[in-house]
Amino acid sequence: MYPYYCTTYPDKWTEIYVDKRYFDIDPVIDVVRWGFFPVDWSSLDRRSAQVYRLFMEARSYDIGPHGLTIPIRGSKGERSLFSVTSNLPKRDWSRLRASSIHELQILSHYLHEAMLSASGLREVGRHRNLSRRESQCLQLLATGRISKQIAADLGISENAVKLYLRSARQKLGASTSHHAVAKASFLELIKI
């Protein structure tokens, strides 16, 4: 049985992908098995004839040659993938990826939470309230600030920022700080 999926790919490509059982050979799917960090498709092994044909067939349905996949590991052990593709020239794609990866990580977790809530697989609203500092740290993290910058903005130590972020993750049942930002946004505890 295949996992649940939601896609904006053309219906015909999705049908072919499922019918040909591309889940079994797609190196992008392997990212969820072993990955924790975003993976640019240029780093995927495409040397096998099957994988090469998969990517070539995808191109015929206007699936861009460039892509980024973000593995998501939820607080209850669930796993998912969030992928974006592009037909931009390689140099433009590299710039776009670099400038938007932070936002894509937050968006991926936000969509993960939204899908679990919409499907009834996750109860909404079961969390402990965040402190003012936890909310501030998450809010600043959502804007792309790093711990050192957040510390300077709030006039506290970097270790304190890390403590507040860890506490917020625990209260929200989040596996990463990006996941915490997405959950806090989804629950309307912060604005992004």
Inside any domain, residue 124 = no
From residue 69, alpha-carbon distances to 18, 32, 125, 188, 192 in Å are 19, 9, 28, 26, 22
Tens-place pLDDT, residues 126-184? 566 899 999 999 999 999 999 999 999 999 999 999 999 999 998 898 888 988 998 89
Same domain, 72 and 28: yes
User: What's the CATH number where 106 sits?
Assistant: 3.30.450.80
Number of domains present in the structure of the chain: 2
What predicted TM-score, i.e. pTM, was given to this entire model?
Answer: 0.70
Tokens of 92: 């433009």
Same domain, 70 and 161: no
Same domain, 59 and 143: no
Inside any domain, residue 66 = yes
